Amino acid sequence: GRARSSGEAFAFHEEGMEERAVRRRVLQEDLRRAVAQGEFEMHYQPLVHLRSGGVTGFEALMRWRHPARGLVPPAEFIAAGEESGLIVAMGAWALARSCAEAARWPRLKVAVNLSAAQFRDHEIVRHVRQALSASGLSPELLELEITESVMAMDTKHVRDLLYELRALGVRVVLDDFGTGYSGLSYLLDFPFDKIKIDRSFVRGIGERPECDAVIRAVLGITRDLRMVSLGEGVETATQLARLRECGVQEAQGYLFSPPVPLAQVRGLVARLGLHQAVAEAPRTLSA
């Protein structure tokens, strides 16, 4: 059952298993229709370089423009996409769309989220290659974000795919770091270019000593392995200052901007300024 304290005043009774199964099927059917009709759009949230204060790129975040429900956030449909297998088509679309839109920006990166289901076979490499060639986007401007749940799959298979993807020239990013169950050793086994520190740790900065400790530990690792570090969910100037002190390189959060529709990207870049990118060399790896 769900917590009733979280604003769900109208949840008069616990939802039964059957009800939940029906609701899930209805949602999946609705999602199937949405995929066919093309009801999705990508919104973009700036990634900010902490030294220069300028934008290095944007994370592409999917939204469902539902004819009756309005704009639906990923929390309400990504899981259904994964359960139904629709996420593979949705993910291919997200890649193609994000690359096509980013190819028209000034030299800025675009970060696209991938689901574990997209790693189940070999298609992801073809989808990335297609998105790059159709858009003309430079591969080094594309970042692929995966979470620890992806690595919990078949390790060898995922590792091989990540190396193949990196061979295309794209960058691989570990998202929501610290929320999974894996130890630190896999950071050595997978070719990550960047680690995004989950916002649960950023939120606890200055309040819970463990959070500062985690951030310092991540910094130690990323420095040694020559990865970029990014702090997620930065909402206050205090959090920003602390991340800067720790030596975190990039940040993302409502303090700078929430995710915005494509039409607002240019305005945001004008407001925040463009990071003067000295092309970062990719991590050198011995495969």
The residue among 135 and 147 lying less far from Mg ion, judged by its C-beta, is: 147
Give the separation between CA 155 and CA 242, rounded to whole angstroms.
35
3-state secondary structure of 286: coil
Task: For the CB of residue 188, give the shortest distance to ligand C2E in the complex, in Å.
Answer: 23
3-state secondary structure of 246: helix
Per-residue binding letters, 105-124, with ligand C2E (x by CB under 6 A)? --------xxx---------
The residue among 176 and 193 lying less far from Mg ion, judged by its C-beta, is: 176
In a 13 Å sphere around the CA of 23, the CA atoms on its Cβ side amount to 8
Task: For the CB of residue 144, give the shortest distance to ligand C2E in the complex, in Å.
Answer: 11
231, interface contact from Mg ion, ligand C2E, none, CB < 5-8 Å by kind: none
Is residue 164 close enough to count as binding ligand C2E by CB under 6 A?
no
Partners of residue 40 on adjacent β-strands: 64
45, interface contact from Mg ion, ligand C2E, none, CB < 5-8 Å by kind: ligand C2E
The residue among 48 and 286 lying less far from ligand C2E, judged by its C-beta, is: 48
Is residue 74 close enough to count as binding ligand C2E by CB under 6 A?
yes
Partners of residue 173 on adjacent β-strands: 145, 194
254, interface contact from Mg ion, ligand C2E, none, CB < 5-8 Å by kind: ligand C2E
The residue among 9 and 75 lying less far from ligand C2E, judged by its C-beta, is: 75
* H or E stretch covering 14: none
Contacting ligand C2E (CB under 6 A), which of 34, 78, 99, 251?
Answer: 78
The residue among 75 and 276 lying less far from ligand C2E, judged by its C-beta, is: 75
Nearest one of 57, 116, 59, 122 to 91, comparing CA atoms: 116
Is residue 94 close enough to count as binding ligand C2E by CB under 6 A?
yes
74, interface contact from Mg ion, ligand C2E, none, CB < 5-8 Å by kind: ligand C2E
Give the separation between CA 237 and CA 187, rounded to whole angstroms.
30
Residue 212 and residue 178 in contact, taking contact as beta carbons nearer than 8 Å: no
Question: CA angle at residue 51 from 46 to 52, to 5 degrees?
Answer: 65
Q: Say how many C-beta atoms besides its own lie within 10 A of residue 29's C-beta.
A: 12
Q: State both tokens at 40.
A: 């999705």
In 99-227 the beta strands, taken as DSSP E runs, fall at 109-113, 142-146, 171-177, 194-197
Helix H, strand E, coil C: the string for 236-251 is CHHHHHHHHHHCCCEE
Give the separation between CA 167 and CA 169, rounded to whole angstroms.
5
Task: For the CB of residue 98, give the shortest distance to ligand C2E in the complex, in Å.
Answer: 8
83, interface contact from ligand C2E, Mg ion, none, CB < 5-8 Å by kind: none
Range in contact with ligand C2E (rule: CB under 6 A) among 150-158, 177-185, 253-261, 262-270: 253-261
Is residue 34 close enough to count as binding ligand C2E by CB under 6 A?
no
Contacting ligand C2E (CB under 6 A), which of 31, 44, 45, 265?
Answer: 45
DSSP state of 282: P
Q: Residue numbers of the site for ligand C2E (CB under 6 A)?
A: 45, 61-62, 73-75, 78, 91, 94, 113-115, 145, 175-176, 199, 233-235, 252-254, 259
